[in-house]
Amino acid sequence: MAGQKPFYVTTPIYYVNDKPHIGHAYTTLACDVLARFKRLDGYTVKFLTGTDEHGQKVEKSAMAKGIAPQQFTDDVSQNFRDLAAAMGYSNDDFIRTTEVRHKAACQALWTRLLEKGDIYLDKYAGWYAVRDEAFYSESELKAGPNGEKLAPTGAPVEWVEEASYFFRLSAWQDRLLAFYEANPDFIAPESRRNEVLSFVRGGLQDLSVSRTTFKWGVPVPGDDAHIMYVWLDALTNYITAVGYPDTDASDYKQFWPANLHMVGKDILRFHAVYWPAFLMAADLPPPQRVFAHGWWTNEGQKISKSLGNVIDPYQLVERYGLDQVRFFMLREVPFGNDGDFSHQAMVGRMNSELANDFGNLSQRVLSMINKNCNAAVPNKGPLTEDDEAMLGSAYALLETVRGQLDRQVFHEALESIWVVIRAANGYVDRQAPWGLKKTDPARMETVLWVLAESIRNLALLMQPFVPTSAGKMLDQMAVAADARSMAHFGAAGALVPGSALPKPEGVFPRYVEAEATAS
């Protein structure tokens, strides 16, 4: 809509050589919560995810299966679309690097960098890890168990010598450092910013940006013997999706530079060093912010295919429920840190926080209203100091949570919400509306109105995290579908006494372990 502020958030594009796992689900979930919140908060949102489909790894995997790379990527890319649907993500676009629009954007960017003198032809000789699609200097390598050379990630490396185009990354060291200095919020969290500063201050080498030893990629314009380095190709997706190379396209003008690239910490260097250098070299503005989150372990163990402990998001959702999984992933761990998935922690969060704290609060308040207030929003009488304090803490939440989500501290946003949920439970116990029923029914109605109104505001804020459950809670308070945005937060959207309410039902069931069947 005209006049609305734009918000453009992206996930990394996921490499199709992999089956979707909890890491993919986690990154996209964080972006989904931001996209949902911003839409509710009056922004025009573009939320992009997609798949990275070029490179040597993909070509090798396709050959091993005896199928063409395009067929291989068609099949595997669909897995990531399916995950987005299963996890309830609200992405507005899904990009594939094999699309015609993307090839055009990559070749336009390349041509621009060549014209500007930032790309030149030379010969590459050095260490390359196919698994990481990355080049490494001798000093970065480590010895493997049998004395073989390995990348810092543990990936095997091979010595590569071939003609290659290079990007003059070395020329960008001082300009990048000046950019980081002028934009202190460009890289988050702080620990990751420090890593990048240290890396760039250590000196930048020119970057090999083309390969000739395989063919699965975007051809270099005017030199078909070369294909573009997969990271130059992959990073360009963020501008492809807003219409580049047409910088007059409405999406480009509205959404670029992106507000946020959300990435895993393992790909921070590509996004915080190479990408802004490519863009500035092409006279294009860099994104506003890159946030690198941590990794998950499984019951304390590193997740790996060899250990067989990869966490399948589909199985989690089937076992615990979609909203419960969404809540846990952003509640359990300070966002940006590494986190551990454990069944015990999952059940603990579901039962103590969702079922007991929030679900039970909503269920008992709405049940009392249903039983004692003619199944309608109670009358609101004069407010006491305690009532004002309860409502005030609920009404103050939007500003707090808005600031926390702008810093991507999802765990803090949820804790702020939970402080008010716990306060509401304390208020119920203090006011004891079940006792007021006999002694002061008018006062009982006021207390129940304050509680219902507090729950309405809490449910509004929980919509981005647990969309289905928060929606059910708002249904039970007869909040109209067009009254669920943040414009209706606080007194502006307060519940109207006398409005009919449906019979309440539990929203967050307790998780009960299935009984082991006797053999």
Q: What is the mean pLDDT of residues 117-130?
A: 92
Nearest to 112 by CA among 288, 232, 225, 207: 232
Q: Check whether 412 has a pLDDT greater than 60.
A: yes
- Please indicate whether residue 146 or residue 392 has the higher confidence score (pLDDT): 392
DSSP output for 81-110: HHHHHHTT---SEEEETTSHHHHHHHHHHH
User: Does residue 252 belong to any structural domain of this protein?
Assistant: no
User: Does residue 404 belong to any structural domain of this protein?
Assistant: yes
Token pair in block for residue 173: 């060291």
Q: Check whether 124 has a pLDDT greater than 90.
A: no
Q: What is the mean pLDDT of residues 301-305?
A: 71
Give the model confidence (pLDDT) of 255-290 as tens digits: 999 999 999 999 999 999 999 999 999 999 999 999
User: Does residue 149 belong to any structural domain of this protein?
Assistant: no
Say which range, 128-142, 207-221, 397-411, 432-446, has the weakest mean pLDDT: 128-142
User: Does residue 457 belong to any structural domain of this protein?
Assistant: yes
Token pair in block for residue 303: 């997740």
User: What's the CATH number where 463 sits?
Assistant: 1.10.730.10
Quote the CA–CA distance of 443 and 500 in Å, as a whole number: 20
User: Does residue 322 belong to any structural domain of this protein?
Assistant: no
The contacts of residue 425 (CB under 8 Å, 6+ apart) are: 357, 360, 361
User: Does residue 130 belong to any structural domain of this protein?
Assistant: no
Give the model confidence (pLDDT) of 26-61 as tens digits: 999 999 999 999 999 999 999 999 999 999 889 999
Cα four-point dihedral sign 81, 82, 87, 90: positive
CA 47 to chain centroid:
10
Helix (H) or strand (E) holding 452: helix 441-462
Quote the CA–CA distance of 439 and 69 in Å, as a whole number: 76
Mean pLDDT of the chain: 94
Does residue 492 contact residue 342 with C-beta atoms inside 8 Å? Answer: no
Does this model's pTM top 0.75? Answer: yes
pLDDT score for 96 = 97
Q: Check whether 200 has a pLDDT greater than 70.
A: yes
Q: How far is CA 422 from CA 357, 402, 427, in A?
A: 7, 20, 9
User: Does residue 74 belong to any structural domain of this protein?
Assistant: no
- The DSSP code for 349 is I
User: Does residue 393 belong to any structural domain of this protein?
Assistant: yes
Domain extent at residue 418: 346-493
Q: Check whether 306 has a pLDDT greater than 70.
A: no
Say which range, 37-46, 139-148, 371-380, 420-429, has the weakest mean pLDDT: 139-148
Quote the CA–CA distance of 306 and 372 in Å, as a whole number: 59
Q: Total structural domains in the chain? A: 1
Q: Check whether 477 has a pLDDT greater than 60.
A: yes
